[in-house]
Amino acid sequence: MSEPSSQKAFPVSWEQFHRDARALSWRLSGDRGFEAIVCITRGGLVPALIIARELGIRLIDTVCIASYHDYKEQGAAQILKGVGPEVAALTADGGTRILLIDDLVDTGKTARLVRDMLPKAHFATVYAKPMGRPLVDTFVTEVSQDTWIYFPWDLGLSFQPPIRDGHPG
Ligand SMILES: O=P(O)(O)OC[C@H]1O[C@H](OP(=O)(O)OP(=O)(O)O)[C@H](O)[C@@H]1O
Ligand code: HPA
Ligand SMILES: [Mg+2]
């Protein structure tokens, strides 16, 4: 990851995240035959709820991966949990009826791990950075590689210094 100081900030409110996840649902809608959602925890849990609601999908599972152990620092990716038996029953053909959801793809490291597990699943993220973009089938918004996305569940209300005082945002 780049140095935080050299990164642009892209803060996302709950409202914007909901709107973007709905936009992703529209792109995934139609007769695509998805029978299950597999979300990549933890960031994929929130868009998975919204997309499952919009598409009427009720079989939802998780793949638990931890790769960023400290703030903005990527460590070795670890798979803590794979899919359970109900979704495993859908994987014989590589997972064509499985919709994989994450909040974003950045370097593509997480996506690559999951793609190895479910090579034919449809992989969708709300946001994508250029390095990871080739690994994603559907996304809504691309941001530059040197942008850090701040998700609403990581944010709180705080004082913002005026722009003229050198606020970087
Ligand atoms: O494309 P990559 O460089 O692999 O980065 C993308 C991944 O990083 C974040 O997850 P993180 O591992 O931080 O865990 P979290 O979802 O629990 O916050 C994000 O939610 C993606 O899953
Ligand atoms: O830009 C990001 N924002 C939040 N979490 C992340 N994990 C990888 N990249 C990012
Ligand atoms: Mg994640």
Ligand in closest contact with the CA of 110: 1
- Express each pLDDT in 38-64 by its tens digit: 999 999 999 999 999 999 999 999 999
Neighbouring C-beta atoms of residue 83, cutoff 10 Å: 19
Checking if the pLDDT of 2 tops 80, the result is no
Cα(41) to centroid(ligand 3), Å = 5
Complex ipTM value: 0.99
Q: What is the mean pLDDT of residues 8-23?
A: 97
CA nearest to 153, candidates 16, 2, 4, 8: 16
Query: In ligand 1, which atom is closest to the CA atom of 129?
Result: 1
Mean pLDDT of the chain: 92
Compute the distance between CA of residue 126 and CA of residue 101 in angstroms, rounded to an integer: 8
Tell me the two tokens of residue 86.
Answer: 């109900």
Cα(76) to centroid(ligand 3), Å = 13
- Express each pLDDT in 73-131 by its tens digit: 666 788 999 999 999 999 999 999 999 999 999 999 999 999 999 999 999 999 999 99
User: What residue owns the CA closest to ligand 2's atom 4?
Assistant: 149
* Structural domains in the chain, sorted by start: 10-150 (3.40.50.2020)
Checking if the pLDDT of 26 tops 60, the result is yes
Ligand in closest contact with the CA of 103: 1
Checking if the pLDDT of 8 tops 70, the result is yes
Q: Is the dihedral of CA 107, 134, 15, 144 positive or negative?
A: positive
